[in-house]
Amino acid sequence: MPLMQVILVLIAAGVLLWLVNNYIPMDGKIKNILNVVVVVVLVVWLLQAFGILGSLSTIRVG
**pTM exceeding the 0.85 threshold for the entire prediction:** no
Our count of domains for the chain comes to 1
Structural domain including 32 reads 3-58
Looking at residue 7, what is its pLDDT? 94
pLDDT for 5-62, tens place per residue? 999 999 999 999 999 999 999 999 999 999 999 999 999 888 888 888 776 667 677 6
Closest to 17 measured CA to CA, from 5, 3, 32, 29: 32
